[in-house]
Structure 1
C-alpha cells in the first residue's frame, strides 16, 4: 500500500462502465474501478485474479482499460490520472464503484476527493476487514467476510461506518454467523441489510428470500450474472 499524501498511487486492475448489479444501487449505471490486491481469501470469490500484486504483471494504464477478459495485470495510477481517464472515455455514468480485490487496503481519500470534485458520486465495496480511509460522502457497502482463510476479522468501526450491509449466504450457518456479527458489531440504526446468495442455486436463493421476508431485509441477486454482463 502506497500512502504518499501528495501523489498517492492506486494499483488498477480494471476500469469499465456497466450497470451496478448488487445491493441498493442495483440497476444504476456505474463506472467500476477495480483495485489489485486482497489477502482475505474467500473461496467463492469470482475475482481471484486480483488477489496478488506481482511486479511482473504491471502494465501501462491503457492496457487495463482495454481488457476483454479477467487477468492479473494491473497499472499504477494517481487520482488525477483516473479523473482524466473518466474524461477521455466519456463515460455517461456518474456513479463510481471502487471494488477489488480489497479496496480498503488503500487510502482512498485522495481518490474520492478528486472524483467528487469532478462531479462523481463514490461507492466502495469492502469486506470490512481493513480500516476505512474514505471521504465523508462515500457510500460504504460492507460485505462482511467471516471465517475466511486469510484470518482477517470484520472491524466494528467498519460496521459502524457502513451505509449498507450486503452479506453472502449459501446455508443456515451463514445466517447464524451474521446474527453473531450484528450482535457483537452492530451497525448504525436504519442501515440497510441485504442477503446475497453466494451461488445462483435455488437452495441459496430460497434461504435468502425466506430470511429477508421474515426480517424485512433486502435481497441482492447479483443481477449482472443473470444478465451475463460484467
Structure 2
C-alpha cells in the first residue's frame, strides 16, 4: 500500500480535543468535497505532473500541489530520520479517508504512536481500531458528497465549522436520530476566526456543554 503525501511536518495540534498536543501531521493528496473556505485547496487535485521525489516534497517552503509516493515503512523511516519526537500523529488532507489507512496505522502504532484522522465523513473509514476519529461534517458542498452515518457513529469527535445559525441548525438536522458514541466530543469551530461566528459558537457551546475549537495554530501563526 502506498500513499500520496503532500507534506509531513511536526507542530502543535491547533484544533479540537488535542489542541496544544505536539503532533506529526501527515497530509495526503486528494479531495473532491470542495469546501469553499478550505485552507488547503492545493491538496484537492491528484495530477501525475505534480508527483515529485520525497526529498523535494519535504523541502517545500510553501503550500503547493506537489506530492510524493510513500509506503508505510517509508513514512516510519522518514519520521525516525527527521528526529520527530511527537507521539501523536494526525492523518489529514485533502480527504485522508480516500485511502486505506490500516497499514499506515499499524506501522505507526507499532512505534508507540497514537493516531488521529481528520475526515469529512464522506468515505468509508479503513482504519485501525485504536484510531481517534475526528469527523468534520461537510454539508451541501459543491462536490455533492453525503456525510456517512457509519462515520458519525464511529466518531470520537465531531468538529463542525460554523459562521451562522443555519450551520448549527444543519448540524442538529444531521445528528437527529443518529447513534453516536456515548462520550463523543462535539466541537464548534468558527470559520476564518470571524468575530460573529466566534460569538455564536461560544454561545451555543455554553448552552449545550459542547467544546469551542478556535484553530489555535492560526492565532499563533504556525503551520
Residue matched to 2:182 = 189
CA distance in 2, matches of 1:116, 1:9: 17
Return the match for 1:144 from 137, 143, 150: 137
How many residues are aligned here? 223
Residue matched to 1:24 = 17
CA distance in 1, matches of 2:211, 2:142: 27
What are the equivalent positions in structure 2 for 1:12-161 lying under 5 Å apart? 12-161=5-154
CA-CA distance at 1:184 after TM superposition: 4.1
CA distance in 1, matches of 2:56, 2:116: 24
* Stretches of structure 1 lacking an aligned partner (at least 5 in a row): 1-7
CA-CA distance at 1:64 after TM superposition: 1.4
Q: Does residue 10 of structure 1 match 2:16?
A: no
Question: After the TM superposition, which parts of structure 1 deviate over 3 Å for at least 4 consecutive aligned residues?
Answer: none
What are the equivalent positions in structure 2 for 1:159-178 lying under 5 Å apart? 159-178=152-171
Q: What TM-score, normalized to structure 2?
A: 0.99
CA-CA distance at 1:199 after TM superposition: 1.5
CA distance in 2, matches of 1:213, 1:38: 33
Residue matched to 2:210 = 217
RMSD: 0.7
Q: What TM-score, normalized to structure 1?
A: 0.96
Q: Deviations over 1:166-196 (max 9, x none)?
A: 0000000000000001104332222110000
CA-CA distance at 1:200 after TM superposition: 1.0
CA distance in 2, matches of 1:186, 1:65: 41
CA distance in 2, matches of 1:17, 1:73: 19
CA distance in 1, matches of 2:204, 2:214: 14
CA distance in 2, matches of 1:186, 1:172: 23
CA distance in 2, matches of 1:43, 1:186: 29
Q: Deviations over 1:116-138 (max 9, x none)?
A: 00111110000000000000010
CA distance in 2, matches of 1:18, 1:185: 34
CA-CA distance at 1:68 after TM superposition: 1.3
